[in-house]
Structure 1
Amino acid sequence: MTTTIELAGDIPCELAGKRLDAVLAQMFPDYSRGRIQQWIEAGAVEVAGVQPRLRQKVNGGESVRIHATLDLPGRDVAEDLPLDLVHEDEHLLVINKPAGLVVHPAAGHPQGTLVNALLHHAPELAHLPRAGIVHRLDKDTSGLLVVARTLAAHTDLVRQLQARTVGRQYLALVQGTLVAGGTIDAPIGRHPVDRKRMAVTPGGREAITHYRVDTRFPCHTLLRVNLETGRTHQIRVHLAHRHHPIVGDPVYGGRLRRPGGLSDRAGKVLQDFRRQALHATCLTLDHPDGSGSHQWQCDPPQDMQTLLAALGED
């Protein structure tokens, strides 16, 4: 579904000499610069009655008219499902997503997703792209996820993500022992053979992951991981690329092996842990209301805490 929007105004004289797309993003802050660039290229923008070039600079004082179409979200069903709300205000929601919950409806999961739950809790999200969700977590990754409640907040949060100013820290339990932290700077794209997987590949998109050691166990390491970019499966792919895959990862972790020397209890808990041991534990961003930087934190869910406690006993 689409809707037609009409925007108009005069370019402020003090913006003379700046690029048109940057000026329009400032004049109409509800819409991202990327979306405005698409409208310019599609011929949906007129400046002084003429269709402009994408990179042209403005003189100041010109009249601007935008007549464009905006894609509307699909008609996903609202469902009364439990939500663990860490924070809620008129601009955004911060959710503690449990492992096992799919974020967006898809062919295999048309209902019972986070989107369905959000539409029941906040029906106004039906009018926003992807129901206000600006980043995602894999089905079996738990932890913090931010949701915009207005178009202006959505645009602002997307800009922050693009500028890499949103802080996202994860706890990741990996196989093997690491002696120090580091940075993984390796491009990620579709696996050349298995198109359902991602991989480090020369033709992929830039991907940067920072990590440091939190706790060392006899055969495993708990890492604190910070994302600089946000590629699909980025942490899982990068750590597997470094030969320290995340414990329980069914796609990138390889065959489950019980390390020697584990106690029977730790071995049993490890064997029964059937998802990637990855939890989004801390989220930092500039609030769209202009009140400055905000931070939220949440502990890992009980299954991951049980696993860490069992490994700690060894």
Structure 2
Amino acid sequence: MVNAHFSTKIPEEMSGWRLDKALAELFPDYSRARLQKWIKDGFVRVNAMPLRGKDKVQGGEDIEIIAQAEEEVTWEGQDLPILKILYEDKDIIVVNKDAGVVVHPGAGNPDKTLVNALLNHAPELAQLPRAGIIHRIDKDTSGILVVARSLPAHTSLVEQLQAREFKREYQAIVTGMMVAGGTVDAPMDRHPVHRTKMAVVAHGKPAVTHYRVMQRFRVHTLIRAILETGRTHQIRVHLSHVHYPLVGDPVYGGRLHIPPASSPELQEALRQFKRQALHAEKLGLIHPTQDEYMEWQVPIPADMQHLINLLSQDVKEHT
């Protein structure tokens, strides 16, 4: 059993929401069923009073959860070569995740994940929700993640994330030549038919992605995407929604586009790029105990850089 003690305020924009829905948004580390059980068992206090899950909140209420959270699975530490630590202290660990590395154990990936490697390095993470993982990166996306190493650090980082105070910048290669940067402000949720996919839906959760052009190629563009929110598959879905899908994206990418009269090497590279061309390049946050802003940046991985080099060469050959 792991003690769960969290407190926060209901944001004003959640006025009119059911309590259980608001808590599911505010505490994404726990399933909605788990939160509903805590509400039913009286472990949730709203302005120091118990409420029902279906009761509506008005915004501004103080929320406190004091409960015993049963570990849903037993995750074991494993000595794996996948753990690349950029920074660590007693409160946080910042890692650079390679493409192809799964973050959490789950169906189809019971072990050999980033969490298994983290638990081997820092066994105390077993006492934290989701082993201290604050935010997720898809298996085939590379880049930076921060991990909380203590419960106070976890609480601070979750609050920063909910308040949209993390700085998260990505590089991506998209299909299509963008004229200029912009913002996609489009709510997201599960696809109404294909439940393993996410989609832009009218009554989804707020989702905002900013993007700007870094380099244009003949039929592709290298962009920098900045997350204001952090929905599952957000960049992938948003860019596909505005008709600039990520190169190599097996779910949202659409059909392959190859520049006309391009070199066999570029054609082969585009055909063989089997993951979304997305890299979490930069992460910034307020350190949970030192109260100072910290930022990390990692270079784009070799497979994306190789593709960028070939696309750049293709432009030179056709100008």
Q: Is this a same-fold pair by TM over 0.5?
A: yes
Offset, 1:272: 1.5
Partner SS state of residue 245, structure 1: coil
- The within-5 A match list for 1:21-40 is none
Distance 2:49 2:235 in 1: 42
1:121 is matched with 121
Partner SS state of residue 86, structure 2: strand
- Percent identity, aligned pairs only, is 55
Distance 2:209 2:5 in 1: 41
Deviations 1:217-272 (A, max 9, x none): 11110110000111110000000001110000000011323232322222121112
Unpaired stretches in structure 1, ≥5 consecutive residues? 8-19, 23-33, 57-64
1:227 is matched with 227
2:49 is matched with 52
Residue identity in the other structure for 2:49: P
Are the counterparts in 2 of residues 170 and 278 from structure 1 also a CA contact under 8 Å?
A: yes
Distance 2:45 2:278 in 1: 48
Residue 195 and residue 221 in structure 1: after superposition, are their counterparts in 2 closer, same or farther (change >3 A)?
Answer: same
Offset, 1:71: 3.7
Residue identity in the other structure for 2:239: L
1:242 is matched with 242
Offset, 1:53: 5.4
Are the counterparts in 2 of residues 119 and 125 from structure 1 also a CA contact under 8 Å?
A: yes
2:158 is matched with 158
Offset, 1:66: 8.6
Are the counterparts in 2 of residues 171 and 224 from structure 1 also a CA contact under 8 Å?
A: yes
Are the counterparts in 1 of residues 183 and 210 from structure 2 also a CA contact under 8 Å?
A: yes
Partner SS state of residue 152, structure 1: helix
Distance 1:80 1:239 in 2: 37
Are the counterparts in 1 of residues 4 and 67 from structure 2 also a CA contact under 8 Å?
A: yes
Distance 2:66 2:192 in 1: 41
- The within-5 A match list for 1:97-246 is 97-246=97-246
Residue 268 and residue 91 in structure 1: after superposition, are their counterparts in 2 closer, same or farther (change >3 A)?
Answer: same
Task: Return the TM-score normalized by structure 1.
Answer: 0.82
Distance 1:191 1:21 in 2: 30
Residue 70 and residue 198 in structure 1: after superposition, are their counterparts in 2 closer, same or farther (change >3 A)?
Answer: same
Unpaired stretches in structure 2, ≥5 consecutive residues? 10-25, 28-34, 52-56, 59-63, 315-319
Residue identity in the other structure for 1:227: L
Distance 1:67 1:119 in 2: 25
Residue identity in the other structure for 1:134: I
Are the counterparts in 2 of residues 73 and 126 from structure 1 also a CA contact under 8 Å?
A: no
Are the counterparts in 2 of residues 40 and 52 from structure 1 also a CA contact under 8 Å?
A: no
Residue 122 and residue 188 in structure 1: after superposition, are their counterparts in 2 closer, same or farther (change >3 A)?
Answer: same
1:78 is matched with 77
Residue 244 and residue 76 in structure 1: after superposition, are their counterparts in 2 closer, same or farther (change >3 A)?
Answer: same
Distance 1:138 1:288 in 2: 25
The alignment's C-alpha RMSD in Å is: 2.7
1:30 is matched with none
Partner SS state of residue 152, structure 2: helix
Distance 2:251 2:4 in 1: 43
Are the counterparts in 2 of residues 73 and 128 from structure 1 also a CA contact under 8 Å?
A: no
Task: Return the TM-score normalized by structure 2.
Answer: 0.80
- Choose 217-226 or 251-260, whichever is displaced more: 251-260
Offset, 1:72: 3.8
1:262 is matched with 262
Structure 1 stretches of 4+ moved >4 Å: 3-7, 37-42, 53-56
Residue 93 and residue 4 in structure 1: after superposition, are their counterparts in 2 closer, same or farther (change >3 A)?
Answer: closer
Residue 42 and residue 303 in structure 1: after superposition, are their counterparts in 2 closer, same or farther (change >3 A)?
Answer: same
Are the counterparts in 1 of residues 44 and 50 from structure 2 also a CA contact under 8 Å?
A: no
- The within-5 A match list for 1:1-16 is 2-3=1-2
Distance 1:310 1:67 in 2: 55
Distance 1:204 1:4 in 2: 32
Question: Does structure 1 residue 68 correspond to structure 2 residue 67?
Answer: yes
